């Protein structure tokens, strides 16, 4: 911490871990410190409050513990949400901070009288605003079914609280086939445009449960999944819940599924090797988050190229996370929905027990599919040890023979892929292999892809992974 003239230090979203060093007090000119969205642990050092020019500190979305000491409370704008700090963090109720951050005494009796009145006025204003801004909804026509006119019978939790079930029916013309953009094991997906002009994807779920216990469980699980935030996971905005109709509301992904793109020659050519490596990295980061950073951890249960969606920039996002658990929440780690044929871990055939290792195997299949441009098929069960890596790569894309950085990435991905496809579950890496993509490059042992065999990649893969388990 020798940057004595530093005014701003912004290090958010970098997956940093460890504690905040007390030597930060040496940054005497520091005014703005942002360490949010990392994995920083330990206590907040009291030395932060001794930096004279510090006016804003953002420590949200970390693993900080303990309490906020007196000196730290002097920071005018201190953000510590989404940490493990105790309730003692709050300042004494007899004081509040004025515009200049100086404590001012407030008579407790006056607070008791004025505070309820202020809160009541705020609630009245909010209620009035929401009533005035409520969008007008088209009235149901006489030809519409009873389902489309259920009104208050539907329980809707939705994005920004501004859309209703009726608006979804209008946007899809009662789920007309012309709006359907895909069908899977859990339901059909429809494209819908909201009155605001925003496009969303609706996944209408195939389920016939009518018990109240299931509906309550569904609502709890769906609300939990809606709290997930990750750059490589499709955002779940909300859900509509009814005994006869349930659908999830997702962010719309313009380019559709990886499965469809790889099977279209024109689209597949646009996926050069840099984009393909980034797709595998994005998948690894997303599954690492679901397995290791969510509490409780989330097993996807159905990783396949159909559930990897791409946006307009051909960036990859994992979709349908937790849907199997959501529909069968009473099944614990035993599965009723076995996943997609061709991507299922071999142990499920005789154990029917789903763990993170099953997701890891499915990830390996999809990653190999990205490299090959097609499903690996029989290569999963047996492979000729003399096959060279370059013979497996998608021939529709020019071979990266002159780009050493891309070659290095392809070799690293290949090593991790074959480690993930091991038949013994305990020998597969957890998705913490995403750390390998972030912090390290594998050394090239041979000068060209033509000289690297599949058997070599299988033998070299395991040393990369042991230290990255959750």
**Active-site residue numbers?**
302
Residue 400 dihedral angles phi and psi, to the nearest 5°? -80, 55
CA distances from 324 to 214, 225, 239 (A): 14, 12, 15
Nearest to 189 by CA among 200, 300, 327, 239: 200
Please say whether the beta carbons of 410 and 416 come within 8 A: no
Max Cα-Cα span within the chain? 84
Helix 273-288 and helix 404-420, axial crossing angle in degrees, nearest 10: 40
Two structure tokens written together for 24: 């930060």
**Angstrom distance (rounded) from CA 53 to CA 57:** 11
Q: Which residue has the tokens 């890496």?
A: 429
Residue 30: CA count within 13 A, CB half-sphere: 23
Query: 10 Å Cβ neighbour count for 39?
Result: 13
Q: Please spell the DSSP secondary structure of 275-312, one letter per residue.
A: HHHHHHHHHHHHHHIIIIISSS----S--SGGGEEE-T
């Amino acid at each position: 911490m020798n940057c004595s003239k530093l005014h701003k230090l912004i290090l958010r979203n970098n997956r940093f871990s460890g504690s905040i060093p007390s030597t930060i007090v040496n940054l005497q000119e520091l005014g703005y410190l942002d360490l949010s969205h990392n994995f920083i642990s330990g206590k907040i050092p009291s030395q932060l409050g001794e930096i004279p020019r510090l006016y804003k500190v953002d420590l949200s979305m970390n693993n900080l513990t303990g309490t906020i000491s007196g000196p730290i409370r002097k920071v005018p704008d201190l953000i510590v949400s989404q940490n493990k700090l105790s309730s003692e963090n709050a300042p004494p109720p007899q004081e509040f901070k004025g515009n200049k951050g100086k404590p001012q005494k407030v008579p407790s009796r006056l607070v008791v009288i004025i505070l309820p009145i202020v809160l009541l006025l705020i609630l009245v204003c909010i209620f009035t605003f929401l009533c005035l801004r409520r969008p007008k909804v088209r009235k149901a026509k006489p030809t519409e079914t009873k389902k489309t006119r259920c009104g208050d019978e539907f329980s809707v939790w939705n994005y920004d609280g501004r859309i209703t079930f009726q608006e979804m029916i209008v946007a899809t013309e009662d789920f007309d086939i012309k709006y359907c953009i895909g069908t899977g094991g859990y339901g059909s997906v429809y494209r819908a445009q909201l009155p605001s002009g925003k496009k969303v994807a609706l996944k209408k779920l195939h389920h016939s449960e009518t018990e109240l216990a299931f509906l309550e469980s569904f609502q709890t699980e769906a609300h939990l999944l809606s709290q997930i935030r990750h750059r490589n996971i499709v955002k779940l905005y909300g859900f509509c819940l009814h005994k006869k109709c349930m659908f999830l509301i997702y962010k719309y992904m313009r380019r559709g599924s990886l499965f469809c793109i790889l099977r279209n020659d024109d689209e597949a050519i646009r996926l050069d090797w840099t984009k393909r490596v980034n797709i595998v990295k994005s998948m690894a980061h997303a599954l690492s988050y679901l397995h290791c950073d969510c509490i409780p951890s989330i097993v996807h249960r159905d990783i396949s190229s159909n559930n990897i969606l791409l946006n307009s920039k051909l960036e990859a996002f994992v979709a349908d996370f937790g849907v199997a658990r959501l529909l069968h929440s009473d099944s614990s780690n035993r599965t009723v929905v076995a996943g997609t044929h061709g991507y299922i871990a071999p142990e499920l055939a005789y154990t029917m027990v789903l763990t993170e290792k099953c997701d890891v195997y499915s990830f390996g299949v999809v990653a190999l599919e990205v490299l090959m441009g097609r499903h690996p098929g029989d290569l999963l069960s047996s492979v000729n040890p003399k096959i060279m890596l370059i013979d497996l790569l998608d021939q529709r894309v020019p071979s990266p023979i002159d780009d050493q950085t891309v070659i290095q990435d392809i070799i690293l991905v290949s090593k991790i892929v074959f480690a993930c496809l091991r038949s013994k579950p305990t020998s597969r890496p957890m998705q913490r292999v995403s750390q390998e993509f972030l912090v390290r490059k594998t050394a090239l042992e041979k000068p060209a892809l033509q000289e690297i065999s599949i058997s070599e990649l299988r033998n070299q893969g395991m040393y990369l992974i042991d230290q990255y388990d959750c």
